[in-house]
Structure 1
């Protein structure tokens, strides 16, 4: 999909009705001792709940943040919203050791659904009582020229320190400060707690067969309508004060029922349900080797 996707969609699964952006991360699978795989379901972030809305009713589990500074304040630096047609990725699926990891790509072993703080660069090595949260902080310094680049990353520069701390200053090569974009995806690994391998090995893998977690990556395609994101960046609002049902804000919102009605028809035919003999797509990959 090319061009301004904000003008191409007919509905959005986001709380903010003007956000038609595309957000993507790889799928997580549990690898059983017998060699079979089962897709790990996602669940809603408890922080998504607001007055009159129950987060548990939301279909999905990815929370998207656009911050100007950090979780404690918006700062006084002008933030330039992403322009129509903008896209980028973060992370690299080929990274297989700690030396190749970058700040802001982390995991949290959830002790409860509200656990925050302790982050690791690789998959947790023990069963997590409330699942695993995967975290992706994107770079926020733009070259001011290119909406994309051949590797989908060179037009951006990362000064993020992770953990929603204030990022460092942008370099001269990428002088334009854009929103600090971050994903939090809640993976409900609890159904596998009694299937943990007897040898204690870590059993989760990404869909591209990364069992360490160092290659975690994510994609972003901007799709906010009109100047809606710029209005939010220019405002001093934070979290639900930017807009939620029953609370007037700078952004328009919709109830959970409307969010759940939105969907995209599946255009890829592959078996992803139940226990699988191999990761989806791997028979095709092996046939080309």
Structure 2
């Protein structure tokens, strides 16, 4: 029998007309993304969709239970010895682009706006845990067959793709980094919302530095221009929620099973909320797009710069992910994609020269 809790309604959140001063003099004027004046820029990805049946979700209700569920967990309030870094990297290159989204529009090819995919080479609208797991990947670690994707970026009608391995951090989002455990196989979620307003994007808990290029930082929309130099790219960093409810691998809104940490009362410490007690790695996209100069024609397939969002579908080989999480996050080190900390050369890398677990 399928276990489920009370379902949460899926809402489309729009903003009002606003002009926000962003970063160093950059101004973005945003119409309500839900209004008729801007709805066309978001066609094909609204976050309020009915799920179709798939191998992972046979009844198509959007609830995919974890098997087994993680129960009996209490959010950790411990404060371990301070460590500045608790992370490792998944360096993954672009594989392809397509108007597909196997989380929001499963088995509905061509229904989404265009996405740029990284990691698993086979990701498409019909992707499931079984089809991704053990698959070919562009990530440096062959064990990471996960699928990562985001809206494609354009300059005019030219699609701009990130070049080379992109940095996808796996970090601790809570103070007690020793309580972080690996993602369950098949966990998936969406970070951000293509329908969010500029102000909602800026105030999002995953917002780090927004769009940046050259000396311009904290931009909610694309800067109007970037220095025309070979070393200048358009960058963004955005963090995912890192607390899981332990019950579902996905929910109808693709978000309710995940939550951002909360502040422990009376402290500056971050901990998971009681509703989502299981601490998992905090993913942070750090994307770099080779575009600069006049940025007036730069846009996302989902709309303005503040419509940025991304998707994650876990298909790591379990032993390798656990080894990296335990050594680098739980261990409190700053690791690269091999699980090696340059500042602690006395520690051996977790993975060998081929990025495989010995």
Normalising by structure 1, we get a TM-score of: 0.64
Q: Deviations over 1:52-94 (max 9, x none)?
A: xxxxxxxx35211101259xxx954311211111111101111
Distance 1:225 1:6, change over 3 A: farther
Q: Deviations over 1:75-126 (max 9, x none)?
A: 5431121111111110111113313541323534232xxx8x9433322232
Distance 1:176 1:183, change over 3 A: same
Structure 1 residue 253, shift from structure 2 partner: 5.2
Measure, in 2, the Cα distance between the counterparts of 1:205 and 1:14: 26
Pick from 267, 271, 280 the counterpart of residue 169 of structure 1.
271
- The aligned counterpart of 1:7 is 133
SS of the counterpart of 2:316?
coil
- The aligned counterpart of 2:299 is 205
Matched, 1:85 2:186: yes
Pick from 156, 173, 183 the counterpart of residue 285 of structure 2.
183
Matched-pair contact (CA < 8 Å) for 1:243–1:253: no
Structure 1 residue 168, shift from structure 2 partner: 2.4
Alignment of 1:140-155 (within 5 A): 140-155=242-257
Structure 1 residue 238, shift from structure 2 partner: 2.4
Q: Deviations over 1:5-59 (max 9, x none)?
A: 55341x221112211111101111113xxxxx2222323xxxxxxxxxxxxxxxx
Matched, 1:119 2:218: yes
Pick from 285, 296, 314 the counterpart of residue 222 of structure 1.
314
The root-mean-square deviation of aligned C-alpha atoms, in Å, is: 3.1
Matched, 1:251 2:320: no
SS of the counterpart of 1:171?
coil
Distance 1:14 1:123, change over 3 A: same
Runs of 4 or more off by more than 4 Å in structure 1? Answer: none
- The aligned counterpart of 1:27 is 152
Distance 1:160 1:5, change over 3 A: farther
Structure 1 residue 133, shift from structure 2 partner: 0.7
Pick from 326, 329, 338 the counterpart of residue 234 of structure 1.
326
- Structure 1: gaps (5+ residues): 32-36, 44-59, 256-289
Measure, in 2, the Cα distance between the counterparts of 1:109 and 1:149: 33
- The aligned counterpart of 1:34 is none
Matched, 1:157 2:259: yes
Normalising by structure 2, we get a TM-score of: 0.52
Q: Deviations over 1:123-153 (max 9, x none)?
A: 2232245021122211001001101111111
Pick from 64, 71, 95 the counterpart of residue 196 of structure 2.
95
- Structure 2: gaps (5+ residues): 1-126, 342-346
Matched-pair contact (CA < 8 Å) for 1:108–1:134: yes
SS of the counterpart of 1:214?
helix
Measure, in 2, the Cα distance between the counterparts of 1:179 and 1:133: 22
Matched, 1:38 2:180: no
| Higher alpha-carbon deviation: 145-154 or 75-84 | 75-84
SS of the counterpart of 2:129?
coil
For CA contacts below 8 A with separation 6 or more, give which structure has more relative contact order. Answer: 1
